[in-house]
Amino acid sequence: MSLSREAIVEGLQHIVGPEHVVTDEQVLVQSSVDNFRKLQNIFDVHTMPVPAAVVMVQSTEMAAELLRWADEQGVNVIPRTGATATEGGLESAVPDSVILDGSPMDRIIDVDACNMQATVQCGVPLQALEDRARELGLTTGHSPQSKPVAHLGGLVATRSIGQFSTLYGGIEDMVVGLEAVFPNGQICRIKNVPRRAAGPDIRHVVIGNEGALCFITEVTVKLFPYFPESNRFLGWTLKSMTTGFEALREVMVSGFKPSVARLYDPGDAGLHFSHFAADDDCVLLFMAEGPPGISRATADGIQAIVDTYPECTQVDSAYIETWFNDLCWGPDKIIAEDERIRQTRNVNRTTEISADWSSIGEIYAAARDRIVAEIPDITMMGGHSSHSYINGTNMYFNYFFNVVGVGPEEETTKYYLPIISIICEETLKRGGSIVHHHGMGKARAPWVKDEYGSSYYMLETLKQAFDPSGIMNKGTIFPI
Amino acid sequence: MRILVGFKVTPDFESLREADWIAGEGNLADGAGVETRYVPRLLNCFDESALELALRLRDAAAGRSFVEPQLSAVSIGGSQVEPFLTTLLALGYGRAARVDVGADVDFAPAAVASILAACAHDSDGGDVLLLGCRSGPGDGGTVPFRVAETLGWPCLSQVVEIEALSGDDLRVTCLADDCLLRVTVRPPCVLAVGNAVVSRLRVPTLRDRLARRDVLVDVLRAADLGIDIDLLLEREPAGLIGLEAVRRARAGVVVGGETPHEKARHLLDDHLRAVIERL
Ligand SMILES: Cc1cc2nc3c(=O)[nH]c(=O)nc-3n(C[C@H](O)[C@H](O)[C@H](O)COP(=O)(O)OP(=O)(O)OC[C@H]3O[C@@H](n4cnc5c(N)ncnc54)[C@H](O)[C@@H]3O)c2cc1C
């Protein structure tokens, strides 16, 4: 029989001490959602089951004890660190869940400039690690827009990616080793080595698990030398996304590694670049970084390629540099955006997918056209490609709509999920992936079998093996 | 009732780095001022309130079967202002105009006031002129008063709320030093909007934009309004002569300690005890 809410709180207090168990009603209610249902927090209208408690996890051993207990008692556990999730990964899908909050584990354990790696606890904000690395002339190379607020545990758990990924890679290219705790209380450490061929790479069981398999307690990531003085910026306006994708592809397949390579469609460009781009202009931009010689060669190579596209009109690089200097979203911007939504009921949402070069343009156009035709109250429908690879790129759909005729709690059912549904359908139809970097969360879990196809067997087997009682973040990745 | 909202599009000063301000200093001698070309453009925040308050007056009139006010908007500026004007047309502003004076009027409040007064005077102008009470760095906040003086209309400043009453009367709430003043005014009048709770402009849908696609922004020259801009600027030879950074850093320390208990002890022992003892 499942434990009552009171018994759960008592059990937790017994294990970790009452001072680490939060039961404040407002905290609990706000913890029932993440950014996927952010309107519920903005308008203070809540519909999700309220968690029983938030436990402030202080150590790996504490996490192990808590998980063992939850596993025995069948209590649903939701790991959390920075709480910037966008896809419902932090939503309490079932009543009386327990949030395991790793943010108190915020120690930078080691910054090793000789071996170019840093080890941190899961609750270290990426910005804090980046600041420490910069003191030594180094960088993590990881720069998601949420850098000031996201923590290393969550960044690894979601398979996050940063704005300089085309050079440094996603988090999966940066994680050297880690420590994680499984639901039976087993603590596993994956050692820090440059590479090994001793069987499958088990880091990937942990990276991207979204709290559905284990709780990440410690992470070791690579460090890189930091050369801000040799940054170079390049930008063009052009009228066609098809041409933009072609130019982007040519840069990538020619072997160049800019840190930033982006193509904005006119709608999205209008949000950031209307001071130099016309309202039907796309914007193609690059940043090259690294040691001066490499940065110069990269910029010159890209320039030579884009110069062969007569449709592209070069813009002053100062426009791109100024845009670059204001990329990240700290608490100030998040609060201002919430206030804008509260007043205007105009909501900004994003959905990111990936596909090969042959399909990405079609997916972009098909999804955009359907959304504009089928969804009411759209105020902007656009997107950009921001992470490119030798074989394809991503598309970050960026869209705004007015919430009309329904309460804030119905925003997801009237607008957001139908839009996600269109994007997933059009992407799957053309062989792309429905999630490029935000994680499946609970929002896109209904499509997991279509996403994986026959390989779903492997994913499902991982869940059964590591979380046989199904207590880890119910509804995330695996729909209920 | 006709409501004319005058608004300004400003550079996003927040996204200028400190170095950008200092770099501009080198250009001051030749009058170039701070380099803001590379940053996005925004609606001046007080003007944004004014634009939304006008729309709310229109909505309220529809809800109470009053005669709907006719809304117009005007801005002084070049083509960079156009996207903002087309947005206003899509939101239901009947007329959106820009006055292209071909000169920098950032430090010419009398010239700006003359232009806005001429717009209000124009046959399509307004009975109520809504303006933001100021418009960002380097601004003296005198434009609304100067316009009112030129027109001979009363002016209420620090307006935070406007409500339509029967007839053409308006109930206007203004923020005074330490109280709210509620005043009933009969147009014509100039209302200078201050720190209103309503601070964000609503957003038109793509369909709204499509529906108003054919309504064009009016482009006026100063001469169209009977204004000799060169003469006005000659009378007002103001410009940027220097910049000084204002240090706004708060005094503060990071309280040490590993655990909340340790932090509380440090806070008490190192920082609070001495203050408490002095009390
Ligand atoms: C303004 C904004 C900008 C963003 N920009 C980007 C971007 O550029 N790139 C990008 O990739 N993402 C971005 N995101 C999404 C988000 O920041 C990332 O998904 C980030 O990795 C989440 O980290 P977090 O510490 O906030 O994790 P949380 O929000 O706390 O959790 C995210 C998920 O990971 C799980 N989790 C958290 N901690 C642990 C742990 N210790 N062990 C196991 N599972 C755990 C949670 O259960 C949840 O499913 C953005 C979000 C916002 C709000």
Tell me the CATH number at A115: 3.30.465.10
In this structure, the answer to whether residues B77 and B197 fall within a common structural domain is: yes
Which residues contact residue A415 at a Cβ distance below 8 angstroms, ignoring those fewer than 6 apart?
A347, A349, A375, A376, A377, A401, A403
Work out how many domains chain B is built from and give that number: 2
CB of B41 less than 8 A from some CB of A: yes
Which residues contact residue A424 at a Cβ distance below 8 angstroms, ignoring those fewer than 6 apart?
A353, A434, A444, A447, A450
In this structure, the answer to whether residues A188 and A145 fall within a common structural domain is: yes
In this structure, the answer to whether residues B265 and B190 fall within a common structural domain is: no
In the predicted model, is pLDDT for residue B27 greater than 50? no
CB within 8 Å: A322 and B39: yes
CB within 8 Å: B203 and A400: yes
Please check whether residue B240 lies inside any domain of the structure: no
In this structure, the answer to whether residues A179 and A286 fall within a common structural domain is: no
In this structure, the answer to whether residues A92 and A134 fall within a common structural domain is: no
In the predicted model, is pLDDT for residue B254 greater than 90? no
> Smallest CA–CA separation between A279 and chain B, in Å?
8
pLDDT at B32: 53
Rounded-to-integer distance, Cα A214 and Cα A210, Å = 8
Least Cα distance to B47 among B81, B24, B21 occurs for B81
CB within 8 Å: B200 and A402: no
Chain B interface disruption, residue of A108, A379, A404, most B CBs within 10 A: A379
- A381 interaction partners in chain B (CB closer than 8 Å): 206
In this structure, the answer to whether residues B216 and B264 fall within a common structural domain is: no
- The CATH number that applies at residue A380 is 3.30.300.330
pLDDT at A343: 97
In this structure, the answer to whether residues B59 and B152 fall within a common structural domain is: yes
Which residues contact residue A48 at a Cβ distance below 8 angstroms, ignoring those fewer than 6 apart?
A32, A33, A37, A40, A91, A92, A93
Which residues contact residue A121 at a Cβ distance below 8 angstroms, ignoring those fewer than 6 apart?
A102, A105, A106, A107, A108, A109, A152, A153, A217, A218
Rounded-to-integer distance, Cα B118 and Cα B71, Å = 17
In this structure, the answer to whether residues A219 and A233 fall within a common structural domain is: no
Average pLDDT over residues B253-260: 84
In this structure, the answer to whether residues B122 and B193 fall within a common structural domain is: yes
> Smallest CA–CA separation between B17 and chain A, in Å?
8
Domain boundary among A205, A225, A245: A225
Side-chain half-sphere CA neighbours of A462 within 13 A: 19
CB within 8 Å: B17 and A325: yes
> Smallest CA–CA separation between A200 and chain B, in Å?
38
- A401 interaction partners in chain B (CB closer than 8 Å): 205
Domain boundary among A191, A225, A259: A225
Q: Nearest by CB to A274, from B41, B204, B205: name it.
A: B41
Q: Nearest by CB to A272, from B17, B40, B80: name it.
A: B40
Average pLDDT over residues B246-267: 84
Q: How far is the CA of A85 from the centre of ligand 1 (A)?
A: 4
Q: Nearest by CB to B205, from A322, A343, A378: name it.
A: A378
pLDDT at B243: 75
Q: How far is the CA of A80 from the centre of ligand 1 (A)?
A: 9
In this structure, the answer to whether residues B90 and B216 fall within a common structural domain is: yes
pLDDT at B33: 67
Which residues contact residue B258 at a Cβ distance below 8 angstroms, ignoring those fewer than 6 apart?
none
Question: What is the percentage of chain B residues whose pLDDT exceeds 90?
Answer: 65
Going edge to edge, which strands form the sheet with A346-356? A313-315, A232-238, A282-288, A260-264, A378-385, A392-402, A346-356
**Domain interval for residue B186:** 2-235
> Smallest CA–CA separation between A341 and chain B, in Å?
9
Rounded to 5°, the CA angle B143-B144-B149 comes to: 95
Identity (one letter) of the amino acid at B249?
A: A
CB within 8 Å: A346 and B203: yes
Is residue A387 within 8 Å of A161, Cβ to Cβ? yes
Nearest residue in B to A348, CA atom? B203
In this structure, the answer to whether residues A242 and A185 fall within a common structural domain is: no
Q: Which long-range contacts (CB under 8 A, 24 or more apart) does A199-203 make?
A: A203/A172, A203/A175, A203/A177, A203/A178
Please check whether residue A477 lies inside any domain of the structure: no
In this structure, the answer to whether residues A309 and A336 fall within a common structural domain is: no
Ligand 1-lining residues (CB < 6 angstroms): A 35, 78-86, 89-90, 102, 122, 144-146, 150-151, 153-155, 157-158, 160-161, 210-211, 215-216, 329, 334, 437-439, 473, 476
- A340 interaction partners in chain B (CB closer than 8 Å): 200
Query: Which value, to the nearest 10 degrees, does the dihedral of the CA atoms of residues B84, B89, B95, B99 take?
Result: 20
In the predicted model, is pLDDT for residue B249 greater than 90? no
Backbone angles phi, psi at A58, to 5 degrees: -100, -20
Nearest residue in A to B38, CA atom? A319
Q: Which residues pair with A80 in a beta bridge?
A: A101
In the predicted model, is pLDDT for residue B26 greater than 70? no
Which residues contact residue B97 at a Cβ distance below 8 angstroms, ignoring those fewer than 6 apart?
B72, B73, B74, B75, B85, B119, B217, B218, B219, B220
Summary mean pLDDT of chain B:
89
Please check whether residue A480 lies inside any domain of the structure: no
What's the Cα-to-Cα distance from B235 to each of A116, B91, B155, rounded to whole Å?
64, 38, 25
- pLDDT tens for B213-235 read 999 999 999 999 999 999 999 99
In this structure, the answer to whether residues B89 and B8 fall within a common structural domain is: yes
- The CATH number that applies at residue A27 is 3.30.43.10
Alpha carbon A41 to its chain centroid, in Å, reads: 20
Work out how many domains chain A is built from and give that number: 4
CB within 8 Å: A344 and B205: no
Which residues contact residue A167 at a Cβ distance below 8 angstroms, ignoring those fewer than 6 apart?
A141, A257, A258, A259, A289, A290
In this structure, the answer to whether residues A339 and A459 fall within a common structural domain is: yes
The sign one gets for the Cα dihedral B116, B118, B124, B130 is: positive
Please enumerate residues of A whose Cβ is less than 8 A from a Cβ of B.
270, 272-275, 279, 316, 318-319, 321-322, 325-326, 339-340, 343-344, 346, 372, 377-381, 400-402
Rounded-to-integer distance, Cα A101 and Cα B167, Å = 59
- A346 interaction partners in chain B (CB closer than 8 Å): 202-203
pLDDT at A1: 60
Q: Nearest by CB to A379, from B39, B198, B203: name it.
A: B203
Collapsing DSSP to helix, strand or coil, B207 comes out as helix
> Smallest CA–CA separation between B121 and chain A, in Å?
31
Is residue A226 within 8 Å of A134, Cβ to Cβ? yes
B63 confidence band (pLDDT: 50, 70, 90):
confident
- Ligand 1 pocket check: which of A127, A438, A474, A478 to mutate, most ligand atoms within 8 Å of Cβ? A438
In this structure, the answer to whether residues A85 and A42 fall within a common structural domain is: yes
pLDDT at B25: 47
Is residue A336 within 8 Å of A392, Cβ to Cβ? no
CB of B213 less than 8 A from some CB of A: no
**Per-residue three-class SS string for chain A:** CCCCHHHHHHHHHHHHCHHHEECCHHHHHHCCCCHHHHHHHHCCCCCCCCCCEEEECCCHHHHHHHHHHHHHHCCCEEEECCCCCCCCCCCCCCCCCEEEECCCCCCEEEEECCCCEEEEECCCEHHHHHHHHHHCCEECCCCCCCCCCCEHHHHHHCCCCCCCHHHHCCHHHHEEEEEEECCCCCEEEECCCCCCCCCCCCHHHHCCCCCCCCEEEEEEEECEECCHHHCEEEEEEECCHHHHHHHHHHHHHCCCCCCEEEEECHHHHHHHHCCCCCCCCEEEEEEECCCHHHHHHHHHHHHHHHHCCCCCEEECHHHHHHHHCCCCCCHHHHHHHHHHHHHHCEEEEEEEEEEEHHHHHHHHHHHHHHHHHHCCCEEEEEEEECCECCCEEEEEEEEEEECCCCCHHHHHHHHHHHHHHHHHHHHHHCCCECCCCCCCCCCCHHHHHHHHHHHHHHHHHHHHHHCCCCCECCCCCCCC
- The CATH number that applies at residue B144 is 3.40.50.620
Question: What is the percentage of chain B residues whose pLDDT exceeds 70?
Answer: 95
Rounded-to-integer distance, Cα A79 and Cα A155, Å = 12
Please check whether residue A177 lies inside any domain of the structure: yes
Which residues contact residue A345 at a Cβ distance below 8 angstroms, ignoring those fewer than 6 apart?
A402, A403, A404, A408
- Ligand 1 pocket check: which of A33, A37, A101, A158 to mutate, most ligand atoms within 8 Å of Cβ? A158
Domain boundary among A209, A225, A241: A225
Q: How far is the CA of A217 from the centre of ligand 1 (A)?
A: 15
**Domain interval for residue A187:** 108-225
Identity (one letter) of the amino acid at A394?
A: N
Q: How far is the CA of A184 from the centre of ligand 1 (A)?
A: 24
DSSP B40-95: -EEE-HHHHHHHHHHHHHHHHHHHTTPPPPEEEEEEE-SGGGHHHHHHHHHTT-SE
Render each residue's pLDDT in chain A as its tens digit; 480 residues.
689 999 999 999 999 999 999 999 999 999 999 999 999 999 999 999 999 999 999 999 999 999 999 999 999 999 999 999 999 999 999 999 999 999 999 999 999 999 999 999 999 999 999 999 999 999 999 999 999 999 999 999 999 999 999 999 999 999 999 999 999 999 999 999 999 999 999 999 999 999 999 999 999 999 999 999 999 999 999 999 999 999 999 999 999 999 999 999 999 999 999 999 999 999 999 999 999 999 999 999 999 999 999 999 999 999 999 999 888 888 888 999 999 999 999 999 999 999 999 999 999 999 999 999 999 999 999 999 999 999 999 999 999 999 999 999 999 999 999 999 999 999 999 999 999 999 999 999 999 999 999 999 999 999 999 999 999 999 999 999
> Smallest CA–CA separation between B55 and chain A, in Å?
12
Please check whether residue B278 lies inside any domain of the structure: yes
Q: How far is the CA of A159 from the centre of ligand 1 (A)?
A: 9
The verdict on whether omega for the bond into residue B188 sits within 30 degrees of 0, i.e. cis, is: yes
CB within 8 Å: A378 and B201: no
Rounded-to-integer distance, Cα A461 and Cα B206, Å = 46
Q: Count how many residues are written for chain B.
A: 279
Is residue B156 within 8 Å of B173, Cβ to Cβ? no
Rounded to 5°, the CA angle B112-B118-B124 comes to: 130
Rounded-to-integer distance, Cα A346 and Cα A130, Å = 34
Q: Count how many residues are written for chain A.
A: 480
pLDDT at B29: 44
In this structure, the answer to whether residues A158 and A266 fall within a common structural domain is: no
In this structure, the answer to whether residues B146 and B77 fall within a common structural domain is: yes
Is residue B110 within 8 Å of B236, Cβ to Cβ? yes
In this structure, the answer to whether residues A335 and A458 fall within a common structural domain is: yes
Please check whether residue A469 lies inside any domain of the structure: no
pLDDT at B34: 78
User: pTM (2 decimals)?
Assistant: 0.94
Q: How far is the CA of B29 from the centre of ligand 1 (A)?
A: 49
pLDDT at A371: 98
Rounded-to-integer distance, Cα A144 and Cα A202, Å = 24
Going edge to edge, which strands form the sheet with A77-80? A21-22, A53-56, A98-101, A77-80
